[in-house]
A and B are shown apart, each in its own frame.
Chain A
Amino acid sequence: MNIHEYQAKELFDRFQVPSPKGKVASSPKEALDAAKWLDVKNLVVKAQVHAGGRGKGVFKNGFKGGVHLVDSAEAARDVAGQMLGQVLVTKQTGEEGRFVRKVMIAESVTISRELYLAILMDRESCQPVIVVSTEGGMDIEEVAEKTPEKILREYINPLAGLQAYQVRKICHNLDLNTNARQFGRLLHSLYKLFIECDCSMVEINPVVVTTDDHVYALDAKFNFDDNALYRHPEISAMRDKDEEDPREVAAAEYDLNYIGLDGNIACLVNGAGLAMATMDIIKHFGGDPANFLDVGGGASKEQVTAAFKIILGDPNVKGILINIFGGIMDCNIIAEGVIAAAKETGLPIPLVVRLEGNNVEMGKATLAASGLNIVSADDMSDAAKKIVAAVQ
Chain B
Amino acid sequence: MSILIDENTKVLIQGITGSFGARHASLSLAYGTQVVAGVTPGKGGQKFENVVPIFDTVSHAVNETGATASAIFVPPAFAADAILEAADAGIELIVCITEGIPVMDMMRVKAMLVGSKSRLVGPNCPGLVTPGHGEKSHGGCRIGIAPGYIHKRGNVGVVSRSGTLTYEAVWQLTQLGYGQSTCVGIGGDPINGTNHREVLEMFNNDPETEAIIMIGEIGGNAEVDAARWAKDHCKKPIAGFIAGATAPPGRRMGHAGAIVGGEDDTAQAKKRILAECGIAVSETPSDMAKTLLELWGK
Contacts and interface: CB of A to CB of B under 8 A. Distances in A.
Contacts of B221: 124
B254 A277 contact: no
B111 A121 contact: no
Given A225-B104, A327-B164, A203 B254 contact: yes
A261 B107 contact: no
Given A124-B221, A273-B161, A273-B188, A157 B258 contact: no
Interface of A is mostly: mixed
A228 B102 contact: yes
Interface in B105-148: 105-108, 110-112, 145-147
A123 B189 CA distance: 9
A277 B147 CA distance: 20
Interface string A277-311: 11111111000010010000100000000000000
Contacts of B111: 126-127, 157-159
B32 interface: no
B256 A203 contact: yes
Contact of A281 (B27, B161, B257, B284): B284
Contacts of A325: 164, 167-168, 171
A292 B103 CA distance: 23
B285 interface: yes
Contacts of B244: 276, 280
Interface residues of A, number: 61
Contact of B110 (A126, A198, A356): A126
Nearest to B164: A271
Candidate in A124, A127, A153, A195 with the most chain B CB atoms within 10 angstroms: A124
Contacts of A273: 160-166, 188, 215, 217, 243
A192 interface: no
Interface of B: 27, 76-77, 100-108, 110-112, 145-147, 149-150, 160-168, 171, 188, 190-191, 215, 217-221, 241, 243-248, 251, 254-261, 267, 283-287
Interface of A: 118, 120-124, 126-129, 131, 140-141, 144, 151, 153, 157-159, 195, 198, 200-201, 203, 221, 223, 225, 227-228, 230-231, 259, 261, 269-274, 276-284, 289, 292, 297, 325, 327-328, 356-358, 379-381, 384
Given A261-B246, A280-B244, 13 more contacts: A126-B111, A151-B259, A158-B107, A159-B112, A203-B254, A231-B77, A273-B188, A276-B247, A284-B284, A297-B145, A325-B164, A325-B168, A381-B284
